[in-house]
Amino acid sequence: MSIEAKTEFKPKIVAFCCNWCSYAGADLAGSSRLGYPADVKIIRVPCSCRVNPMFILRAFEKGADGVIICGCHPGDCHYSTGNYYARRRMTLLFSMLDYLGIEQGRTRVEWVSAAEGVKFSTTMNEFVEKVTSLGENIRLGDLRCRS
Amino acid sequence: MSRVQRIGVFVCHCGSNIAATVDVTKVAEMARLEQGVVHAEEYQYMCSEAGQAKIAEAIKEKDLTGIVVCSCSPRMHETTFRNAVERAGINPYMVEIANIREHCSWIHKNKAEGTEKAIILAKAAIAKVNLNAPLKPGESRVTKRALVIGGGIAGIQTALDIAEAGYKVDIVEKTPSIGGRMSQLDKTFPTLDCSACILTPKMVEASAHENIRIFTYSEVEQVSGFVGDFTVDIRKKARSVDMDKCTGCGVCSEKCPAKKNASEFNRGLGNRSAIYTPFAQAIPNVPVIDRENCIKFKTGKCGVCSKVCQAGAVDYEQQDEIITEKYGAIVAATGFDTIKLDDFDEYAYSQSKDVITSLELERVMNAAGPTAGHLERLSDGKAPRNIVFIQCVGSRDCTNRGKPYCSKICCMYTAKHAMLIRDKYPDVKVTVFYIDVRTPGKNFDEFYRRAVEDYGVNYVKGQVGKVAPQPDGSLMVQGVDMLDNKQIRMEADMVVLATAIEPEAGVRKIATMLTASIDNNNFLTEAHPKLRPVESPTAGVFLSGVCQGPKDIPETVAQAGAAAVKAIGLLAKNKLLTNPCTATTDELLCNGCSACENVCPYGAITYEDREVNDHGIREVRRIAAVNNALCQGCGACTVTCPSGAMDLQGFSNRQIIAEVDAICR
Amino acid sequence: MSYGKSQTEEIKEISGVNPYKCMKCGKCSATCPSFDEMDIKPHQFVSYVLNDDAESLVNSKSLWKCLSCFACVERCPRDVKPGKLIDGARQVVVRQRGADYLVPEEIPECLDPELPQQLLVSAFRRYRR
Amino acid sequence: MKYSYYPGCTLKTKAKELDVYARASAEALGFELEEIAEWQCCGGVYPLGADEIASKLSSVRALNAAKEKGQDLVTLCSACHHVIKRVNDDMKNVDDIQTRANNYMELDVPYKGETEVLHYLEVLRDRIGFDTLKEKIVNPLKGRKIGAYYGCLLLRPSGLMAFDNPENPSIIEEFIRAIGAEPVVYPYRNECCGGYISLKEQNLARNMTAKIMDSAAGFGAELLITACPLCLYNLNLCRNKAGIPVYYFTELLAEALGVKREVRAS
């Protein structure tokens, strides 16, 4: 591994998208051909409130460089209040992660509606750019897995 | 994991949609190496009958227990593939979709990158299916009644169609009468029918229909429940007039001394009394008291209306009333308004009475309007000789003062106005400043051409920069003719602004109550822009009319009918299958703390004392129990649960973590 | 002239305007107080840039007729900022030596006793590098 | 209350009235204008080119001087106000300009748009209040019909200037009402006077101001007021035709506050 040529850094980014708004927004970005880097991989969840902080910790532990959670706009949640729960939980989690050394720029919550293909694409482009500028996440990775 | 899965992976080319930027063969090859995968193949169109047959065949031959389809978004074809595998004998919830089209092939141009990502997405889906378990949907009942929010032409048509199919339907309208914007129009394009003449019979039909109840001067206050079983609170605002006693004679309005209140129906161009019916054909023909402007309510003295009412219908003590009703389906038909022109003062709308919106012109042209149908300047009552129409005022405007969309109806109604004016007043010169004339629609372009060719309306390609009121009361219009490349300065006596339309102000509140999606322009979002244009993504909520996007009357009526059919299709069912992806408790981990109960938006979680067998120890514990008919599967409880006892079927902790692992591997 | 960059590219860069945003409504030309003095009209600037015809733009009289009154910028429904595009073309010209619209020698004949400094300063800034 | 004050080149020479009456009125109204030491000319026009830095530095210096004193920066001339306000916005919101300008300036603490830029009229409206101003008027200009001439630079682009409604402004009309006179509203009060075109093509500016003057006169204005020396100059080019005199708004303010004579005497 150590003798491998140094290639351009490609971050690993996990995006949790709620089924009703953001996942549909991502679909719209796709059907409108609004590109964003392939580094983003989307996991579909019913609602942003389904995202357990454990999932995010797990992602960082397994080598993710950034995690973004997308949900419906405040007031538009399919389940009325799920995105409010998500927002509160993530605010706490992100400040804790920051304390642990995982910079705020590696985590983000964004509201993207089903009609906002453009916003989805620009958000992902911005986020990837930000995470790329921060470089590889080494803080929470399992050090035993490294050579 | 109950047993080791035997997974089949099916990679779709989607013609060239996927195959052009993703090496589908390689995806299938790589999938074959994943844990549990015993079969992988690719095909041109997995959703086709032949594609589905391939899945069925593989299930039979290889005894598959789980399926991964790498294709388009699950929002497109998840149901298709679930049904296909069910027919082939395995549980439909053993299917997972890897979205390698919308989330991959369509957005990545580099084939190597696209292929790599598609493989990872496939791996994530495979990892998830390894942990899938068969699920069985429950059943819920359907209340055989529909609610229509909004009593304009969209709401009336939807209600009539639902009622004709034999179902009960309620219309909730916030103003004192049904009729909506169409009742304010004078004539309609492209046939020049009188608007009231074609609308009034529909209004009467709706009010007389045995299956239709109309709540006017009422608003939806609260909505709970879900498809098939909504519970809605409707606020009937105090009308101050007893609807049963009132005979609609109109003496109260006539005698009311508070006469100088801007008439909403006439767009503020005329006055009405404090007790009023908005217009002559109003339904119901029962007045309301506008309490803010009523002398009795302001000072305690007056009471004229009560004294002159022979029927004794005036009731100053009347209170708002809340009606709670159950519905199986809800149709939003909340309509539109014109935008405020505060930020468009270059057209002098706020500085001159002779600069009006097109909707105001409708009232001016209408026999029941403020000028009794005579075309005259509102400043001095003089007949205009030069009228200038300005198109796209606030439409197609991406700055923060306007709307980015085309309002769609303006080109046609301006042609109508121009034609009607030239027809009735041949001496009046009519000039239209336009950016583009957009007339797609049956007989629409012919209509516009008639305005030009037969009626001599002068269409000028270009915009107006400024309308300047002159000391003599005329209006100096400065515009450009882009074809002549000349700046034009022309004097006009009247300027009409084709003002952009926007969804009615209260729609955001209603969308929130319905948990229906809404876009940045406040239009309600449809479930699919092409294939499900009248359904909201929220099950049981349908869209009718301009609340979904700009439309003219024929389109609105067509969509209203389509929304009705969707509602009828729902009401015709006796039972609905519920989403089986509900929360479930691990009774050995639950400590009965009530945290989940507190976050559940549906009240689906209760507690019961249950005997559990904890590694040989039998004891009765307080344990969370989920009502599957009520649980909608959001998952809020799963994260809240401190002991990790709550999980969500179909989106379990282990499944999501498996996906995370597969992506980060 | 410039280092490998076309003049239209230069105009776009200096002005920061994206001409593709324009929908050709003509509002800028309808608004412009100097319209009659211009040979290339404000709305045409966008087309000239799109057609890669910087040659005509830099030789246009219009560059010296724009008053920087920002009326077109204010009223443009597409946020194109046509005035900035005109200024971009003007910059291309004044940044080249010897292409000054205003030369110091002609100042004395322009002077009148009431003339405010502000006028000289502004004109110098707009007409010269 | 003390404000940093940026007079600008013309207020020291041709437009002395604009300046001296403003200072005297400020004193009467209980605020002080503290002139920035060694200010330099703003350049008269805002440099539109996205890559221009050097021509913005004089504004940045003035802005930073006000920041160091912890004061808001008050301007009088429309052009100075326009330039300084927009440069301030660049320093606040455009990273590239902020960085490059600070590199030139080599300040101890980089300037990042902290200073608030106020036009004198904004001080009257938002800090003093036109109601308070009205109370302090000793010599109301009763019966005078005054047209406000705004010009371009105070109003546009409205998103950045945030001065007033760009198409139908009212701040000077309110000011006129406060000093006891009657405002005359006319549609061309926000149309361009011709600006710097009058240096080489006076006739063009004259045509433009004639339209403005005629409109104002038509609606009954007996005099016009403005905040810009160049506007005043251009309007006066066609004065003979319509015959309406043009004044700086500060002169009428001083008159209404009863301090005009003192200034003259001094």
Assess C87–D contact: CB distance below 8 Å, yes or no: yes
Do the Cβ atoms of B663 and A41 come within 8 Å? yes
Q: Are residues B375 and B488 in the same domain?
A: yes
Domain that residue B593 falls in: 583-649
Whether the predicted pLDDT of A3 surpasses 80: no
Residue B529, pLDDT score: 84
Please compute the mean of the pLDDT values over residues A112-133 and round it to a whole number: 94
Out of C21, C23, C30, closest to residue B465 by CB: C30
pLDDT at D44: 92
Note whether B397 and B426 are same-domain residues: yes
Distance from CA of B348 to the nearest CA of D (A): 8
Restricting to D residues 163-182, those with a Cβ less than 8 Å away from any Cβ of B are 165-168
Residues B497 and B536 in one domain: no
Give the CATH number, domain containing residue A39.
3.40.50
Average pLDDT over every residue of B379-405: 97
Work out the pLDDT band at B528, boundaries 50, 70, 90. confident
Q: Do chains A and C touch (3 or more CB pairs under 8 A)?
A: no
Token look-up 């006076």 returns D202
Chain A and chain B share a number of CB contacts under 8 A equal to 157
Give chains near D: 3+ CB pairs under 8 A: B, C
Sign, CA torsion B354/B355/B360/B365 = positive
> What is the DSSP annotation of B253-307?
HHH-S---EE-TTTTTSSEE-SEE-SSTT-SS---EE-TTT-HHHHHS---HHHH
- Please tell me the predicted confidence (pLDDT) of residue C97: 66
pLDDT at B253 over 50: yes
User: Residues C11-28: what's their mean pLDDT?
Assistant: 95
Structural domain count of chain B:
5
How far does the CA of residue C114 sit from the closest CA of chain D (Å)? 7
The verdict on a CB contact (< 8 Å) between B345 and D168 is yes
Does the pLDDT of residue B599 top 70, yes or no? yes
Residue B552 inside a domain? The answer is yes
Q: Is residue B231 part of a domain?
A: yes
pLDDT at A147 exceeding the cut of 50: no
pLDDT value for A2 = 46
Q: Which residues of C touch D43 (CB under 8 A)?
A: 121-122, 125
Residues B492, B369, single domain; the answer is: yes
Predicted confidence at residue C107, as pLDDT, reads 81
Residue A120 belongs to some domain of the structure: yes
> Does pLDDT of A6 surpass 60?
no
Contacts of D170 (CB under 8 A, 6+ apart): D164
Find all residues with CB under 8 Å of B154, minimum gap 6, and list them: B180, B333, B335, B544, B545, B546, B547, B556, B557, B559, B560
Where among B542, B571, B600 does a domain terminate? Answer: B571
User: C29 falls in which pLDDT band (50, 70, 90)?
Assistant: very high
Q: State yes or no: chains D and B have 3 or more CB pairs below 8 A.
A: yes
Distance from CA of C106 to the nearest CA of B (A): 32
Give residue-wise pLDDT tens across range B554-595: 999 999 999 999 999 999 999 999 899 999 999 999 999 999
In CATH terms, the fold of domain C7-96 is Fumarate Reductase Iron-sulfur Protein; Chain B, domain 2 (1.10.1060)
- The reply to whether B565 falls in a domain is yes
The model's pTM is 0.90
Asked whether the predicted pLDDT for residue B58 surpasses 60, the reply is: yes
> Is residue B288 located within the same domain as residue B202?
no
Look at residue A1 in the predicted model and tell me its pLDDT: 43
Mean pLDDT of chain B: 95
The closest CB to that of B348, out of D187, D215, D220, belongs to D187
pLDDT tens sequence across D33-69: 999 999 999 999 999 998 899 999 999 999 999 999 9
When pLDDT is averaged across residues B123-129 and rounded to a whole number, the result is: 97
How many domains does chain A fold into? 1
User: How many whole angstroms separate alpha carbon B93 and alpha carbon B96?
Assistant: 8
Tens of pLDDT, residue by residue over B114-124, are 999 999 999 99
Q: B2 φ, ψ to 5°? A: -70, -40
Is residue B111 domain-shared with residue B167, that is, in the same domain? no
Q: Which residue of B has its CA nearest to D188?
A: B468
> Once rounded to an integer, what is the mean pLDDT over residues B32-57?
96
CA distance D218 to chain B (A): 6
Closest approach of B240 to chain A, Cα-based (Å): 34
The per-residue pLDDT for C1 is 45
What count of residues does chain B have?
665
Residues of chain C with CATH 1.10.1060.10: 7-96
Condensed to tens digits (0 to 9), the pLDDT of residues A21-68 reads 999 999 999 999 999 999 999 999 999 999 999 999 999 999 999 999
In 3D space, the residue among B412, B377, B435 whose CA is nearest the CA of residue B192 turns out to be B412
Question: Does residue A21 belong to any structural domain of this protein?
Answer: yes
Residues of chain D with pLDDT under 70: 239-242, 264-266
Residue B578 within a domain: no
Interval B299-323: pLDDT, tens: 999 999 999 999 999 999 999 999 9
On whether both B166 and B255 belong to a single domain, the answer is no
CA distance B368 to B460: 32
Nearest CA in chain B to D221: B471
**C47–chain D nearest CA distance, Å:** 20
Position A143 confidence tier, pLDDT thresholds 50, 70, 90: low
Q: Cβ distance B331 to B155 under 8 Å?
A: yes
pLDDT of residue C5: 80
The string of DSSP codes covering C29-66 is HHH-TTGGG-SS-HHHHHHHHHTT-HHHHHT-GGGGT-
Return residues 561-600 of B near C (CB < 8 Å): none
By C-alpha distance, which of D259, D104, D61, D115 is closest to D179?
A: D259
For position B3, what pLDDT does the model report?
64
Specify the CATH number for the domain of residue B35.
3.40.50
Q: How many alpha carbons lie under 13 Å from residue D79 in its C-beta half-sphere?
A: 31
Closest among A100, C128, A109, B489 to D44, alpha carbons compared: C128
C residues 106-125 near D, CB within 8 Å?
Answer: 106, 110, 114-125
Q: Is residue B396 in some structural domain?
A: yes
pLDDT band at A76 (very low <50, low <70, confident <90, very high): confident
CA distance C46 to chain B (A): 13
**Per-residue pLDDT at A80:** 84
Question: Tokens at residue B482, please?
Answer: 């882009």
On whether any CB of chain B is under 8 Å from the CB of D188, the answer is yes
The angle subtended at Cα B196 by Cα B191 and Cα B201, nearest 5°, is 105
Residue C98: the pLDDT is 65
Domains belonging to chain D, first-starting first, are: 2-120 (1.20.1050.140), 130-265 (3.40.50.11810)
Is position A27 within any domain?
Answer: yes
Question: Under an 8 A CB cutoff, do A76 and B518 touch?
Answer: yes
Q: Indicate yes or no: CB of A50 within 8 angstroms of CB of B648.
A: yes
For position B357, which CATH number holds? 3.50.50.60
Residue B356 and residue B266 share a domain? no
pLDDT digits (tens, 9 = 90+) for B606-654: 999 999 998 888 999 999 999 988 899 999 999 999 999 999 999 999 9
Does the distance separating the beta carbons of B660 and A59 come in below 8 Å? yes
One-letter amino acid of B394:
G
**Residue A117 domain-assigned?**
yes
By C-alpha distance, the chain B residue nearest A82 is B636
User: What are phi and psi for residue B226, nearest 5 degrees?
Assistant: -155, -175
Contact C26 B480 (CB under 8 A): yes
Among residues of chain B, what percentage have pLDDT more than 70? 100
Residue B275 pLDDT class (50, 70, 90 cuts)? very high
Tokens 């100088």, residue located = B260
Does B392 lie at the interface with C, CB-CB under 8 angstroms? yes
Give the model's confidence band at B1: pLDDT under 50 very low, under 70 low, under 90 confident, else very high: very low
Give the domain extent around A112: 14-134
- In a 3-state reduction of DSSP, which class is residue B363? helix
Contact A/D (≥3 CB pairs under 8 Å): no
Interface test with B, best of A21, A44, A62 (most B CBs within 10 A): A44
Q: Are residues B228 and B107 located together in one domain of the fold? A: no
Among B82, B105, B129, give the residue marking a domain's end: B129
Residue C54, pLDDT above cutoff 80 = yes
Task: Give residue B4's pLDDT.
Answer: 87
